[in-house]
Chains A and B, each alone.
Chain A
């Protein structure tokens, strides 16, 4: 890591280029620039997840940490820069913005954006009120928030719903991909995919549960009940069909020692029951932040499916 104190955006860009030259590879195959806006509490986890995701998507990662102070302090930029090496093929700059500079992050990052490649903005915890009008978000073609990690997940989700613009996405939606894959797959196999009612058993304050409910309600044109079960997971989803229920249910974490081990790891065990077929065990992967980010970066076009679904989220928490 190269440490630059009391520096500028241009000097940081020059330091990255100089480091590339020193390593003998001045040209690079970076596919995008990722801007991470975080406070000290969340920056480390988000940055290291992005560095891991850079193995799939070689990119320049710029972590912006505003450090506003209550007493007037001189504006100052400090930076840490790292290029290539054991951290993977990407480039990393961690920027700390002090004093009045904390309000002017846009001016710092502009010289650091790679030419002619997409810009992605990511807020790992506290999102801006309106990502597409945010000083940083405005530069980005993709804006990733994470309502699950905020202090007020449901209020945040409501804001995402009201301010949605094409190019927005939220990791709560990304976390749902495994559940949605299983549910869509269960209807593939069903000869008459007519669903009369949907019941989701989950912690009702989970943005994932709200988004899943909105998606199913929208696509199946049925009413969706979210039954609050005091959990930090989605516990079960039941689709009522004329032939009987299709039911996907997490197995209790303590049903066996082995299940329990895996429940905290990469997988959770679940059971799928369908009419006319024996109940079968299935695996729902629990993906780390790096894998979630990698999924986001795979499809950079606006996620219109998410757009429709998030706008269908109305008064979350009052449902069911």
Chain B
């Protein structure tokens, strides 16, 4: 039955999550403290959490409710977007609980079950619970199995729901991803599984679709007739920091390329969806991913590297092999780049260059669509010597926005001279600083049961099947190449584009 107080015309009313609780597994991780806890608080501050909302921590710690609450409070005070407000905090804190227990102890899950029932009675959470697994993937099987065996994965009534939220990595190759997906699917129905790729929660990523499909002037050019190549970059200026345990053995391709970069590729390459429903958007993304192909000569078209010790932005920095917790003979790559092709009529012959790395020149994520040169130039060569290709760039972070590069006459020259200029649209200016964090959006969507921004099992598995051959080839082929900290990657990264007669943009 529909709620008479809601109507599509009433755009002011936000959707608010129904009665529910989040059960957080893994309460001390970086992500939990820096992203998940602050996002939950920010949702509360924006009035988007239901009355009686509860947050339950579950971990192997000798803690009482207030110890966990204090951990959350510190995380919120340090990282929340909306600023710490005591009264909002006290409201949220009323619903904070902690269950101490080992992830492999059935008795701990029975305690968790009793706590959840108590919350349903005391706080009116209605049997609706989202299990947020902010834990290493190695613990997934244990937790999922126990959630099933303890009956916690089953909603108590047909109206209630149980959902599970998992963070990347979703496996480390196709086989392990399938195994994990099977395990999750055995415990939760597919529509109750939410895989978080926080890039998809970002306003600018959603804006790729808005710009492409709400305008007239871009989509006619969005094909092999006009586009020369597409470059998708996610560069970090920092090293691995304290994440050696997570990063060693994973590397840049698994950590970033398999999920974020291929999702950005799918959004850039996909056809127009019938509607913006989750099913229709996923259908088009899946088709795009299914058409992605890695070139047969993997050595020639991929590049991997490790950052060397050196100087970055005026400061001395360690090399990857010198980082604490990294074995001196580690072959984990901190830089990965590759050419991909999308085998469709729209994209035939247009290379998609994807690159990601740590300790690069600066922190930037962008999708650059580089157009072909004009087929004929009436100007003499010397007039257009400083003109390169037109480009449309989606800047995803920082300074979210769009840049268009095109040629324009240089004023006050006797012979006409045409040079590259850029036109810039910046969200930082037009839809400024109140843009919600990606995690707020995604966590709210989990609680509302709204799936469009979450990759499903098929997308995850397709992505693995795209990069698996590259990972296998790399595993058999010695060491990654060293690259200078603070630059833009190893020599081989340049050769994969130069071989095709192209150049990387300097982001």
In the complex, which of the residues B16, B91, B425, B434 contacts A56, with contact meaning CB atoms closer than 8 Å?
A: B434
In the complex, which of the residues A174, A184, A274 contacts B124, with contact meaning CB atoms closer than 8 Å?
A: A274
- Are B432 and A187 neighbours in the complex by a CB distance under 8 Å? no
- Are B51 and A262 neighbours in the complex by a CB distance under 8 Å? no
Q: Is A183 an interface residue (CB 8 A)?
A: yes
Q: A272 CA to B50 CA in the complex, in Å?
A: 11
Q: Is B380 an interface residue (CB 8 A)?
A: no
- Are A272 and B16 neighbours in the complex by a CB distance under 8 Å? no
- Map CB proximity to B onto A245-274 as digits: 1 under 8 Å, 0 otherwise: 000000000000010001001110100101
Known: A181-B47, A193-B3. A267 touches B12 (CB 8 A): no
List residues of chain B with CB within 8 A of the CB of A285. Answer: 47
In the complex, which of the residues A181, A191, A277 contacts B52, with contact meaning CB atoms closer than 8 Å?
A: A277
Q: Closest 3 CB pairs between A and B? A: A277-B124, A184-B5, A305-B10
Q: Is A178 an interface residue (CB 8 A)?
A: yes
List residues of chain A with CB within 8 A of the CB of B9. Answer: 304-305
> Chain B residue with minimal CB distance to A296?
B12
Q: In the assembled complex, how far is the CB of residue B133 from the closest CB belonging to chain A, in whole angstroms? A: 26
Q: Is A4 an interface residue (CB 8 A)?
A: no
- Are B85 and A278 neighbours in the complex by a CB distance under 8 Å? no
- Are B5 and A180 neighbours in the complex by a CB distance under 8 Å? yes
List residues of chain B with CB within 8 A of the CB of A188. Answer: 3, 6, 16, 18
- Are A177 and B124 neighbours in the complex by a CB distance under 8 Å? no
Q: Is B19 an interface residue (CB 8 A)?
A: yes
Q: Is A219 an interface residue (CB 8 A)?
A: yes
Q: Is A89 an interface residue (CB 8 A)?
A: yes
Bin the interface of chain A by size: 35 or more
List residues of chain A with CB within 8 A of the CB of B14. Answer: 181
Known: A185-B16, A283-B87, A299-B11. A58 touches B429 (CB 8 A): yes
Q: Which of B1, B12, B123, B426 has the largest count of A CB atoms less than 10 A from its CB? A: B12
Q: Is A303 an interface residue (CB 8 A)?
A: yes
Q: Is B88 an interface residue (CB 8 A)?
A: yes
Q: In the assembled complex, how far is the CB of residue B264 from the closest CB belonging to chain A, in whole angstroms? A: 24
List residues of chain A with CB within 8 A of the CB of B429. Answer: 29, 58, 89
- Map CB proximity to B onto A9-42 as digits: 1 under 8 Å, 0 otherwise: 0000000000000000000010100000000000
Q: Is A228 an interface residue (CB 8 A)?
A: no
- Are A192 and B430 neighbours in the complex by a CB distance under 8 Å? no
Interface of A, secondary structure class, is: mixed
List residues of chain B with CB within 8 A of the CB of A267. Answer: 85, 87-88
List residues of chain A with CB within 8 A of the CB of B1. Answer: 191-193
List residues of chain B with CB within 8 A of the CB of A216. Answer: 5
Q: Is B239 an interface residue (CB 8 A)?
A: no
- Are A189 and B19 neighbours in the complex by a CB distance under 8 Å? yes
Q: Is B377 an interface residue (CB 8 A)?
A: no
Q: Is B215 an interface residue (CB 8 A)?
A: no
- Are A278 and B121 neighbours in the complex by a CB distance under 8 Å? yes
List residues of chain A with CB within 8 A of the CB of B11. Answer: 299, 301, 303, 305
- Map CB proximity to A onto B1-40 as digits: 1 under 8 Å, 0 otherwise: 1011111011111101011000000000000000000000
In the complex, which of the residues B50, B86, B91 contacts A185, with contact meaning CB atoms closer than 8 Å?
A: B50
Q: A188 CA to B4 CA in the complex, in Å?
A: 9
A residues near B (Cβ < 8 Å) are 29, 31, 55-58, 89, 174, 177-178, 180-189, 191-193, 195, 216, 219-221, 258, 262, 265-267, 269, 272, 274, 277-278, 280-285, 294-295, 299, 301, 303-305
Known: A58-B429, A177-B12, A304-B9. A266 touches B85 (CB 8 A): yes
- Are B121 and A55 neighbours in the complex by a CB distance under 8 Å? no
Q: A120 CA to B433 CA in the complex, in Å?
A: 22
- Are B126 and A189 neighbours in the complex by a CB distance under 8 Å? yes
Q: A278 CA to B14 CA in the complex, in Å?
A: 24
Q: A189 CA to B17 CA in the complex, in Å?
A: 9
Q: A56 CA to B85 CA in the complex, in Å?
A: 21
- Are B51 and A282 neighbours in the complex by a CB distance under 8 Å? yes
List residues of chain B with CB within 8 A of the CB of A295. Answer: 12
List residues of chain A with CB within 8 A of the CB of B123. Answer: 278, 280
Q: A282 CA to B48 CA in the complex, in Å?
A: 11
- Are B85 and A280 neighbours in the complex by a CB distance under 8 Å? no
Q: In the assembled complex, how far is the CB of residue B16 from the closest CB belonging to chain A, in whole angstroms? A: 4
List residues of chain B with CB within 8 A of the CB of A303. Answer: 11-12
Q: A274 CA to B11 CA in the complex, in Å?
A: 26
Q: Is B94 an interface residue (CB 8 A)?
A: yes
Q: Known pairs A177-B13, A193-B1, A283-B91. 8 more at Cβ < 8 A?
A: A29-B425, A57-B430, A181-B14, A181-B16, A184-B6, A185-B16, A193-B5, A267-B85
Give B396-444 interface residues, CB cut-off 8 Å to A: 425-426, 429-434
- Map CB proximity to A onto B107-140 as digits: 1 under 8 Å, 0 otherwise: 0000000000000011110100000000000000
Q: In the assembled complex, how far is the CB of residue B415 from the closest CB belonging to chain A, in whole angstroms? A: 26
List residues of chain A with CB within 8 A of the CB of B47. Answer: 178, 181-182, 283-285
List residues of chain A with CB within 8 A of the CB of B10. Answer: 305
Q: A177 CA to B87 CA in the complex, in Å?
A: 20
List residues of chain B with CB within 8 A of the CB of A185. Answer: 16, 18, 50-51
Q: A191 CA to B158 CA in the complex, in Å?
A: 13
